[in-house]
Amino acid sequence: MSDPSTRGAQSQAVSLEVQLGPLRLRNPVMVASGPFGFGEEYGRYFDLNRLGAVVVKSVTLEPTPGNPPPRVVATPAGMLNSIGWQNPGLEGFKRLHLPFLQGLEVPVIVNVAGYTVDEYARLAEALSALPNIAALEANISCPNVEHGGKAFGTDPATAAAVVRAMKNHTGLPVIPKLAPNVTSITEMALAVEEAGADLISLINAPLGMAVDTQTWRPRIARVVAGLSGPAIKPLALALTWQTVRAVKVPVIAMGGIGSAEDAAEFLLAGARAVAVGTALFADPLAPIRVIEGLEAYLRQHRLGRVTDLVGRLILEGEDWERDGARGPGVVDPDGGNHVRPLPPDLG
Ligand SMILES: Cc1cc2nc3c(=O)[nH]c(=O)nc-3n(C[C@H](O)[C@H](O)[C@H](O)COP(=O)(O)O)c2cc1C
């Protein structure tokens, strides 16, 4: 017997559309840069036009071979990867992958990575000249060779410099992708917003390590690697929450998202869109399951739009029913995130 509270819900029309800064998406579910490659392989599993947006692997100016093996290892709740920036470089990307991506009907977001601020600017300029690219995501979890290899994403000033340089060389929306290995994510988020970021994405993979106790060697050739998958979901969620409270630009969240429930957690915390990364390896159809699961979730909760979830987290002492239909997590009509001040312990 069907639950009376959900009876009739099957046929209820729901909208998954989201406005993501300047981008209009048919749904808030993207793929994360890296695990999706440049998309061709996944096109065999599902119609890529069902995604909210496609985000491709980091592209560098020159071809990059990536790191030596072993560079991937499974962990109890995810994986470690040290792929590096393996990619064919800007010209190779244009020749090998862009024609396929240009055939898609959904926004294509190109992720770029550089060793200097100037490289980000040059990539931004070159990619802006190409048709059908919707936005540029900046992977700033990269060593800045001008500053002793310190990652751009761990210093607010250099992260801001990357965004500023890109904005000066492109009319496309720029999305800095924040690294989690920082003392204050809000400081980083405010710095890139101030520098002109149109959107913010987070999190890139935090550092992790595994040791083989039989050989006494690290399981990854480069010793430390990026940890991803369910293991980092609580970390990603906390950093997303802190970020949306601090900035006005919309936030794209990722880190361990593999189901509609995972996605709903991030949307409730205030993310405007989500990306599926590591989950693709276990199930290439994971993003489709997230999209379909979100539709079912909305119907089950008798909500008409996915935006009804965004930022609706109920805090101690608040009550959605009692506080009115818009709920406690009021979304700023001007396009910002939460407009309520931070609780004192988070401020
Ligand atoms: C194998 C692999 C390769 C990745 N490559 C990139 C990359 O090229 N550029 C980038 O910005 N992030 C890269 N990432 C990070 C993911 O985009 C994502 O931020 C992170 O894995 C957290 O999401 P997840 O837990 O859903 O995978 C990579 C992650 C994995 C697992």
Contacts with 29 (C-beta within 8 Å, 6 or more apart), sequence order: 16, 51, 52, 263, 273, 274, 275, 276, 287, 290, 291, 294
pLDDT in the model for residue 318: 73
Give backbone dihedrals phi and psi of 286, rounded to 5 degrees, phi first: -50, -45
Q: What is the pTM of this model?
A: 0.92
Asked whether 299 lines ligand 1 (CB < 6 A), one says no
Q: How far is the CA of 224 from the centre of ligand 1 (A)?
A: 15
Is the shortest distance between the CB of 257 and ligand 1 below 6 Å? yes
Instruction: State pLDDT tens for residues 204-258.
Output: 999 999 999 999 999 999 999 999 999 999 999 999 999 999 999 999 999 999 9
Determine the Cα–Cα distance for residues 146 and 117; give it in Å rounded to an integer. Answer: 9
The ranges of the chain with pLDDT < 70 are 1-10, 319-347
Q: Which atom of ligand 1 is nearest to the CA of 258?
A: 26
Distance 290 CA to ligand 1 centre (A): 18
Query: Which letter, b or e, does each residue of 11-36 get, where b requires 16 or more Cβ atoms within 10 Å of its Cβ?
Result: eeebebebebbebebbbbbbbbbbbb
**Do the strands 217-218 and 211-212 form a parallel or antiparallel pair, or are they unpaired?**
antiparallel
Q: Give yes or no: 261 in active site.
A: no
Q: Which two tokens stand for residue 309?
A: 């979830």
- What distance lies between CA 108 and its chain's CA centroid? 13
Domain extent listing, the chain: 9-339
* pLDDT digit string, tens, across residues 16-26: 999 999 999 99
pLDDT given at position 145: 73
What is the pLDDT at residue 59? Answer: 98
CA 39 / ligand 1 centre spacing (Å) = 14
Which pLDDT score, from 0 to 100, does residue 322 have? 63
Q: What is the pLDDT of residue 229?
A: 98
**CA 35/CA 279 separation, integer angstroms:** 9
Q: 211-212 and 207-209 as β-strands: parallel, antiparallel, unpaired?
A: unpaired
**CATH number at 9-339:** 3.20.20.70
The residue annotated as part of the active site, out of 142, 163, 199, 280, is 142
The answer to whether the CB of 163 falls within 8 A of the CB of 138 is yes
Residue 259 CB–ligand 1 contact under 6 Å: no
Question: What is the token pair recorded at 8?
Answer: 């009739």
Beta bridge partners of residue 34, listed in sequence order: none
Report the nearest atom of ligand 1 relative to the CA of 254.
23
The pLDDT, as a whole number, for residue 320 is: 60
- The CA-atom distances, in angstroms, between 218 and each of 99, 118, 123 are 40, 34, 34
Crossing angle of the two packed helices 233-246 and 260-269, in degrees rounded to 10: 30
Instruction: Show the DSSP H helices in 184-275 as ranges.
Output: 185-194, 233-246, 260-269
Residue whose C-alpha is closest to residue 141's, from 32, 248, 216, 52: 32
| pLDDT at position 208 | 95
How many Å lie between the centroid of ligand 1 and the Cα of residue 33? 5
Could you tell me if 301 and 321 are in contact, meaning their C-beta atoms sit under 8 angstroms apart? no
Cα separations in angstroms, 206 against 154, 203, 225, 233, 271:
12, 8, 8, 11, 19
Nearest-CA residue for ligand 1 atom 19 is: 204
